A = this chain, B = another copy of it.
């Protein structure tokens, strides 16, 4: 058991020295002196991205111009990038398309899922789900005449059993975006299937953060974002997973021309492509998509089991440091201690969460907060070190002890946090 700062310092050094992923940190361009624990909101810049984007701008767009659709593989980019994401979330090729935002992909896949269970009146989602997920579920429910019932993840299996035959889709996230609590994807998917419902997963806080096995757990549909643990850049394209067995019947509302069986026939009626390309919508934002594709090379040769092992080491070490250094300073843990119930972030509650996070940022330790009282720290195992973790908790302790966060400059709530 760690009992003092010297122990913690030595422990961090030892863990980092033994880290098999240590060299992967060099695949990211991190600013000097910054401890970045907000990769669960916007991943850091992968070193492969700038050259890829410069090439996309100057050579592909500027010189090859329209010819790039063929010459530089623009047309295939959504599925090519989708397959690269698929490798990180346990999806065999041909089931993932990258593009659009998570909100849009949610709407498209959730509505299609619900349509494929006609006669069922219920759509289950989580009251602790990220806001967009709840809003979109309500929108889909309204359009299709379904009732949207908010059931916490921990109770979902029981409700599915009680409402067997009545639930069209259960739409959940494996990781709670606030607390970082991790749920059992296999168990909930099985519960949905036992009730004859389809399982829709939002992987925003899971993809790239921990092993996800979409095919193995027999997930039906999933979406996720490209800019958190995948480090694809600000507003990077999202992705949608449509399991092979659902592609032929995928009856989605966003019938853009890129999903047509013969897009360049320019037909006046929509004939969907037979495969996952049906889930393409309109022309993808290629500069952002090319950045995401380049970013994904940071995972080359990296096993998600190794990512998970280091991630748990980082989050566990953060919790240990917090136990020792933040005791008595008004913080309450919000993230489960059991590794199997923890995603790749740790959240603490504190009534002064806003100014604390602002003061931390001023010292170069970047986390974020969620109203009203949650400090969130995300750990991307590809570039965060145990030394980062210790420095973050030490700075947080120093701020809380000295009251540095009570200075006026930290009390102004920014637009976006």
Contacts and interface: CB of A to CB of B under 8 A. Distances in A.
Contact of A285 (B235, B281, B416): B235
Contact of A288 (B34, B288, B368): B288
Interface stretch (A59-67, A88-96, A326-334): A59-67
A417 B268 contact: no
A151 interface: no
A267 interface: yes
Given A103-B257, A267-B131, A371-B266, A235 B42 contact: no
Given A75-B416, A136-B255, A264-B417, A366 B66 contact: yes
Contact of A281 (B45, B101, B366): B101
A42 B57 contact: no
A58 B44 CA distance: 11
Contacts of A57: 45, 49-50, 53, 233, 291
Contacts of A81: none
Contacts of A269: 134-135, 138
B287 A291 contact: yes
Nearest to A258: B103
Given A257-B103, A260-B135, A38 B65 contact: yes
Given A41-B66, A256-B103, A235 B289 contact: yes
A31 interface: yes
A134 B268 CA distance: 6
Interface in A35-91: 36, 38, 41-42, 44-45, 49-50, 53-54, 56-58, 60-63, 65-70, 74-75
